[in-house]
Amino acid sequence: MFQYATAAPSGGSLLGLIGPFVLMFVVFYFLLIRPQQKKTKTRNLMLKALKKGDKVVTIGGLHGTIMEISDDIVVLRVNDVTKLTFDRGSISHSVSPDADEKA
């Protein structure tokens, strides 16, 4: 009376099933993970290289000169009068002296 069509199990290999996932991981690694690791590495190197007298910009955009620096604390001089204390990780980047001379 009723006939059900049954499909024979496909003979797909394990590589055919896992291959697209491996390819997606490789693409994500080279487009997302690896560049982020490089950026983090260069930022950590910059933070370790900071020294007294460097001109820096904080994450919030505050410009200042490093007066004191320890493992995790930075004291910045702002407007030649005010001293502010920040976490070392809140430094966005250091400003090159050449950029100051041009301004």
Residue 89 is predicted with a pLDDT of 93
pLDDT at 84 over 70: yes
Nearest CA to 77 out of 65, 68, 89, 95 is that of 65
3-state secondary structure of 38: helix
pLDDT in tens, 28-81: 999 999 999 999 999 999 999 999 999 999 999 999 999 999 999 999 999 988
For residues 43, 46, 93 and 76, what is the CA-based torsion angle, rounded to 10 degrees? 130
pLDDT in tens, 4-18: 666 555 556 777 889
Cα(9)–Cα(27) distance, integer angstroms = 31
Cα(102)–Cα(89) distance, integer angstroms = 28
Q: What pTM was computed for the model?
A: 0.68
